[in-house]
C-alpha cells in the first residue's frame, strides 16, 4: 500500500498532506516531515535530514528503526579528551564538541552505526541475538538503558558473549540531557 501511495504521489505531482504516527511511512512517503510532540513542532525537514541530524532527543528517538541508542552521563576528561562517564563508571568516547566537563549529556548512536570490532574500546555482554537474514540484531543494556546493535552482516554471536564495539565519531550525536537539545 505504501508503495502504491508513493507511486501515485510521484505520478500526480500534487501537494499531499499525509498524517501518520508510523515513522517508517513518514520516512518513505514524505518529501518533508513535521515531527510533533504533544501538539508542538519539534523539527521540520527532509526525511534523511531528520534522520542524520535530529534536533533533539525526541526526534532522535522517534525517527529510525530500530530506535537510536541513548547513553546518559556526564562529560569528563580522561586526560587527553572528553568522554561520557555513566553513573556506573563506564566511559564512552565523544566527538569533539563544545561541552564543559561535568555537564550532563546524552550520547546517541543508531544501531546500524555501531561497529563490532575486536579492538573496540567499548565492551558489552550480549543478552539477546536476533538473526534477521540481512542483518543481525543483538541487544544489551547500558546503565539499565536498552542498547541495540544492527550489524549489516551475519555474525556468529551468542547470548552471554562479550563483544567489543566502536562508535564512529562522525556518527555519534550529543544532546544536552537537561534540555534535550542537540549539542553537536
- CA–CA gap between residue 105 and residue 92 (Å, rounded): 12
Q: What is the mean pLDDT of the chain?
A: 91
Q: What pLDDT was estimated at residue 2?
A: 75
Residue 175 exposure: Cα atoms within 13 Å on the Cβ side: 24
Count of Cβ atoms closer than 10 Å to residue 172 Cβ = 20
* Domain membership flag for residue 35: yes
- Residue span of the structural domain in which 5 resides: 1-64
Average pLDDT over residues 130-135: 90
Instruction: Give CA–CA dist 106/21, Å, rounded.
Output: 25
Residue 124 within any structural domain of the chain = no
pLDDT at 184 over 90: no
CA angle centred on 121, ends 119 and 126, rounded to 5°: 85
Average pLDDT over residues 66-72: 95
40: three-class secondary structure by DSSP: strand
- Does residue 41 belong to any structural domain of this protein? yes
Does the residue 141 lie in any domain?
no
Residue 8 is assigned to a structural domain of this protein: yes
Residue 49 buriedness (CB in 10 A; 0-12 / 13-18 / 19+): middle
24-67 pLDDT per residue, tens: 888 888 899 999 999 999 999 999 999 999 999 999 999 998 99
Most confident of 21-30, 84-93, 104-113: 104-113
Q: Report the alpha-carbon distance of residue 2 to residue 26 in Å, rounded.
A: 10
Amino acid at each position: 500500500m505504501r508503495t502504491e501511495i508513493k507511486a501515485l504521489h510521484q505520478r500526480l505531482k500534487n501537494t499531499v498532506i499525509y498524517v501518520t504516527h508510523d515513522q517508517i511511512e513518514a520516512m518513505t512517503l514524505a518529501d518533508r516531515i513535521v515531527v510533533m510532540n504533544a501538539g508542538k513542532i519539534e523539527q521540520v525537514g527532509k526525511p534523511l535530514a531528520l534522520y542524520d541530524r535530529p534536533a533533539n532527543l525526541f526526534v532522535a528517538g522517534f525517527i529510525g528503526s530500530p530506535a537510536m541508542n541513548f547513553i546518559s552521563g556526564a562529560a569528563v576528561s580522561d586526560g587527553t579528551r572528553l568522554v561520557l562517564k555513566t553513573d556506573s563508571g563506564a566511559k564512552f568516547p565523544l566527538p569533539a564538541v563544545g561541552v564543559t566537563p561535568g555537564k550532563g549529556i546524552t550520547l546517541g548512536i543508531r544501531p546500524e552505526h555501531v561497529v563490532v570490532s575486536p579492538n573496540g574500546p567499548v565492551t558489552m555482554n550480549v543478552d539477546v541475538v536476533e538473526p534477521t537474514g540481512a542483518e543481525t540484531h543483538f541487544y544489551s543494556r547500558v546503565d539499565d538503558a536498552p542498547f541495540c546493535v544492527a550489524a549489516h552482516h551475519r555474525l556468529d554471536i551468542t547470548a552471554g558473549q562479550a563483544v567489543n564495539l566502536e562508535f564512529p565519531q562522525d556518527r555519534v550525536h550529543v544532546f544536552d540531557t537537561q534540555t534535550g537539545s542537540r549539542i553537536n
